[in-house]
A and B are shown apart, each in its own frame.
Chain A
Amino acid sequence: MLSFVSRRLATGVGLIATLAVLTFFFLQFGVSDVAQRIAGQQAGPDAVAVVEERIGVDRPVIVQFGDWVGSALTGDLGRSWFSGQEVTEAVMSRMAVTVSLAVGSVVLTALLGVTLGALAATRRGWSDRGVQFLAVLGQAIPGFLMALALVLVFAINLDWFPATGYTRPSESVPGWLLSITLPVIALTVGSIGGVAQQVRGSMIDAFERDYVRTLRSRGLPQRSVVFQHVLRNAAGPALTVLGLQFVILLGGAVIVETLFSIPGLGPLALNATSQGDIPVVMGIVVVTGVIVVLVNTLVDVIQAWVNPKVRLS
């Protein structure tokens, strides 16, 4: 088990390294005039040269990258070229907001998705068709459109929730809850469908399995076979889908955050890339990569725990 986890993590480190290299060199093409922009449009060549030296873009790209890697390995992701803020600090504080949104909607997705999927699989008939239709609808409508609709209805017309803005939990917990309710719902609606469909499919599949018939032939009632055996065997694929949803939710959060003016990773990423603020972009990419790798490893571990064939080999 330990070697399994370390193998997964090693692959993850390789991935993050590739990601970092690609992003860094790719970004070089787009930042030719960044020093001019930092110094201001009126600044003369001398002033620009000073800025270039300060942020280090006067050196060869490969040296810049070496420097970045060197300090990144010690946990220092540098400072923003524009605001001078510590990248680690900026990314981490905003990442916390984004991840809490994503985790909130993953949990909600898991609860509702599994419930609806199981309901559809066991009841069939009308409840099945209803769940399937909702799932398709949820998947079809882009997340931000859903968010837009939610804002229009619940914030502007009904005034139940704040339309935009974010309250930190340290300021007011009820305020925080109110401020993240609509964003979390907007994110969740689209992902429930995928999980529900997956759970439904693999449960229906599991129902037709030979071992279910054999268990029933021992006098076990349908109910107990469903909850112990069918659900357990349907858990694996559902988990995989949840893991994928998490990444998609992180991406969706970028748009939803901008829409709701929530100070998460989204607005930061937008700002940094449009300015060409390489240290911040690199920080966002690497930290996101790390989180995704950790989540995927966690999914794999749970997966292995559920499936003895993986665990024991």
Chain B
Amino acid sequence: MSSVTPAAAPARRTGPGLFLRLLRHPLGGVSMLILAVVVLLGALAPWLAPFDPSATDLHMILAEPGPEYLLGGDAAGRDILSRLLVATAFSLAGGLLVMAVAVTVGLTAGLVAGYYGGLIDAAGAWFTALTMSLPSIIVLIAARSVMGPSMWWTMAIFGLFISPVYYRVVYTSVRSVRNELYVDAARTSGLGDGRIIGRHVLLAVRAPVILLMSGVIAAGIGMQAGFDFLGLGDPTTPTWGQMLNEGFYNINRSSNLVLWPALVLGLTTVALTLLGTALRDELEGTGDKRHKAARPWALDQEVPADIDHGDEPAGDALLTVRDLAVAYPAGEGYATVVKGGRLSVRRGETHGLIGESGSGKTQTAFSILGLLPKGGKVMAGSIVFDGEELVGRTDAQLNALRGSRIAYVPQEPMSNLDPSFTVGHQLTEPLVKVLGMKKAEARGRALSLLARVGIPDPQRAFDSYPHQLSGGMAQRVLIAGAVSSHPDLLIADEPTTALDVTVQAEVLDLLRDLQDELGMAILIVTHNFGVVADICDRVTVMQKGVMVETGATRAVFENPRHEYTRALFAAIPQGAPRSPLPGVSSAGSLGAGALR
């Protein structure tokens, strides 16, 4: 219901703009330039090479770079430059072949297995496991003994061998797309499997397939170079690896031989890998884009005075939030999600903060806790808790309040418990580390709290992991944790939204009882007027980041004065029930008796 980070999701596009964006990416531009040069040299090698790459000249054996052989001669008296150019063509072609085979096999198998599952799925998993249980080099060496030293065969087999890289990526994205509602919707629109794959599934795998390409080419080139370096390559096709091999055996005579192929090979694989990183940044929006705030933050609108139902007490406010502004970096400036107004929570009362999604109610709650999501910052205003200003405090200072005087109950019970630790551990850890209890004491306290929040078998819940609990139970555990320090203020962010109505009623009862017992104030963030009517003494209405109306619950409900509050009330479904269609008797009604 409430989004935690309001910053806009990165737009995913692979359209024509991608190439330009890559060029502008600092790493992408440089690596594309390097690759362009290498590819061009390779493609034009037959015309560029000044000599026949396999022609030997006895006078030029290990010759120094000179006017004739620009980069010198190798151990057989061949021109290094010419060999390097031709080797570039072969090495690149090898890398491309690996990619082509891997994409063809991996994409097809991944699409089919992901979409249909069943036998092909099992076969794919088996093949993947097979390729991962043996280093590829051993397979390639074995294949060479069968196929002979053909570079093309070796590269094709290597492509097959690393096709699981594609298979797995395609498979997972197909699986996740398959469960998307829009695929169900396509099916209920009468589309056949072929059409669904073509329209929806291929679109989804496009980005990851492109993303992996440069990495796979780099792996192919690297593997081929390594293979040829071992002397396993085809002696008739010069490659970088072969030149390195020859150079390595003559390393004591001339390091010139190793230098050039090593340089080109290294540059190419580095450029390919960096291009992959740049692609990822652009396609997935993961780029470490430093936010450059061209414009300083400023409140972009005049905040009107809120409507107060006029029963504000002067002295006994526990928490007062005034003119709060919270902003996130966005584009060249900021997106301001909380813009002002006033919120005042008295000691021991339950105060509702109500608003629709995007109203900033959750952001207000996080600001009070000092736990805004990444990027979020309190830009202006004040938060006064029990006479102390919280805005501008360090994290350590706020830590002294959190967990002892201010507590928090989240919305989504399951994701708010660490799946790797037992409930008991998560309850006792703060008691020991923050409140300084002894382990046994903390354990006793945790067990009695679990009993208090209505968990039938506290010991069992204590020893359980979060995934073994139901949502309602998990929420009770979180409430137990929140009240374990006897806080003065409990901030509950949509504490019942994720729960069924019958469970919601029980959780609200529990909160009410705990409040009576502990005398704490509760700030309850919600979008549900029923919840406010049920539990809140007073209520504050938020709209688009501004607190617009505040007052005693009864006063606000009976006489909503702000236009927005009125609109909200009007939207509550309370219309008359529809009468049965003419001719349809309700005689078919079966009550409890008819069923048993």
Q: Are chains A and B touching directly in their complex (CB below 8 angstroms)?
A: yes
Partner of A128, one of B142, B288, B416: B288
Among the 9-residue stretches B52-60, B326-334, B428-436, B453-461, the one with 4 or more Cβ atoms under 8 Å from chain A is B428-436
- Among B128-143, those with CB < 8 Å from A are 129-130, 132-138, 141-143
A217 within 8 A of B: yes
Partner of B420, one of A285, A296, A307: A307
- Chain B interface main SS type: helix
Binary CB contact string for chain A from 153 to 196 against chain B (1 if under 8 A, 0 otherwise): 00010000000000000000000000000000000000000000
**How far is it, in angstroms, between the C-alpha of A252 and the C-alpha of B223 when the chains are bound?**
10
Binary CB contact string for chain B from 165 to 206 against chain A (1 if under 8 A, 0 otherwise): 000000000000000000000000000000000000000000
Residues in B neighbouring A46, C-beta threshold 8 A: none
Residues in A neighbouring B143, C-beta threshold 8 A: 26
B146 within 8 A of A: yes
Binary CB contact string for chain B from 354 to 374 against chain A (1 if under 8 A, 0 otherwise): 000000000000100101011
**How far is it, in angstroms, between the C-alpha of A156 and the C-alpha of B258 when the chains are bound?**
14
Residues in B neighbouring A252, C-beta threshold 8 A: 135, 137
Known: A213-B371, A217-B369, A270-B141. A292 touches B421 (CB 8 A): no
Q: Are A144 and B225 in contact (CB under 8 A)?
A: yes
Binary CB contact string for chain A from 17 to 28 against chain B (1 if under 8 A, 0 otherwise): 011000100110
A224 within 8 A of B: yes
Residues in B neighbouring A83, C-beta threshold 8 A: none
**How far is it, in angstroms, between the C-alpha of A140 and the C-alpha of B229 when the chains are bound?**
17
Residues in A neighbouring B262, C-beta threshold 8 A: 145, 148-149
Q: How far does the Cβ of A158 sit from chain B's closest Cβ, in whole Å?
A: 14
Q: Are B374 and A15 in contact (CB under 8 A)?
A: no
Partner of B229, one of A210, A255, A307: A255
Q: How far does the Cβ of B113 sit from chain A's closest Cβ, in whole Å?
A: 18
**How far is it, in angstroms, between the C-alpha of A221 and the C-alpha of B133 when the chains are bound?**
43
Residues in B neighbouring A259, C-beta threshold 8 A: 229, 248
Q: Are B415 and A148 in contact (CB under 8 A)?
A: no
Partner of B273, one of A139, A215, A224: A139
Among the 9-residue stretches B378-386, B393-401, B438-446, the one with 4 or more Cβ atoms under 8 Å from chain A is B393-401
* A/B pair count, beta carbons within 8 Å: 212
Known: A222-B395, A269-B138, A289-B133. A136 touches B144 (CB 8 A): no
- Among A256-313, those with CB < 8 Å from B are 258-259, 269-270, 273-274, 276, 281, 284-285, 288-289, 292-293, 296, 306-309, 312
A5 within 8 A of B: no
Known: A139-B273, A312-B465. A254 touches B416 (CB 8 A): no
Partner of A306, one of B133, B374, B420: B420
Q: Give B407's nearest chain A residue, CB to CB.
A: A217
A232 within 8 A of B: yes
Q: Are B395 and A19 in contact (CB under 8 A)?
A: no
**How far is it, in angstroms, between the C-alpha of A228 and the C-alpha of B401 when the chains are bound?**
21
Among the 9-residue stretches B263-271, B293-301, B514-522, the one with 4 or more Cβ atoms under 8 Å from chain A is B263-271
Q: Are B274 and A136 in contact (CB under 8 A)?
A: yes
Binary CB contact string for chain B from 228 to 271 against chain A (1 if under 8 A, 0 otherwise): 01101000000000001000100100010010001001100110
Q: Are A285 and B138 in contact (CB under 8 A)?
A: yes
Residues in A neighbouring B447, C-beta threshold 8 A: none
In which size bucket is the chain B interface?
A: 35 or more
In which size bucket is the chain A interface?
A: 35 or more
**How far is it, in angstroms, between the C-alpha of A274 and the C-alpha of B433 when the chains are bound?**
64
**How far is it, in angstroms, between the C-alpha of A307 and the C-alpha of B420 when the chains are bound?**
6
Known: A233-B420, A254-B138, A308-B467. A273 touches B226 (CB 8 A): no
Known: A219-B404, A270-B230. A26 touches B146 (CB 8 A): yes
A61 within 8 A of B: no
Q: How far does the Cβ of B497 sit from chain A's closest Cβ, in whole Å?
A: 14
B277 within 8 A of A: yes
Q: Are B412 and A248 in contact (CB under 8 A)?
A: no
Residues in B neighbouring A274, C-beta threshold 8 A: 141, 144-145, 232
Binary CB contact string for chain A from 209 to 241 against chain B (1 if under 8 A, 0 otherwise): 111011111111110100011001100000000
Known: A136-B274, A213-B410, A229-B420. A269 touches B258 (CB 8 A): no
Known: A142-B225, A211-B417, A309-B419. A220 touches B374 (CB 8 A): no
Q: Are B396 and A221 in contact (CB under 8 A)?
A: yes
Known: A144-B226, A229-B421, A247-B132. A215 touches B426 (CB 8 A): yes
A54 within 8 A of B: no
A-B contact pairs, 15 of them (CB 8 A): A15-B130, A30-B146, A136-B273, A140-B270, A141-B266, A145-B244, A213-B408, A214-B478, A217-B403, A218-B482, A219-B404, A252-B137, A255-B230, A288-B134, A292-B134
Residues of B within 8 A of A (CB): 126, 129-130, 132-138, 141-147, 218, 222-223, 225-226, 229-230, 232, 244, 248, 251, 255, 258, 262, 265-266, 269-270, 272-274, 277, 288, 366, 369, 371, 373-374, 395-396, 399-404, 406-408, 410, 412, 415-422, 426, 429-430, 433-434, 465, 467-468, 478, 481-482, 485
**Known contacts A136-B277, A142-B223, A252-B135; can you find 16 more A-B pairs with CB under 8 A?**
A18-B130, A26-B142, A139-B273, A142-B265, A145-B244, A145-B262, A209-B415, A211-B417, A215-B418, A217-B402, A218-B481, A255-B230, A270-B230, A281-B145, A288-B135, A292-B133
- 10 shortest interchain CB distances as A-B pairs: A219-B403, A251-B135, A30-B146, A140-B273, A217-B408, A142-B222, A218-B430, A218-B403, A219-B434, A140-B270
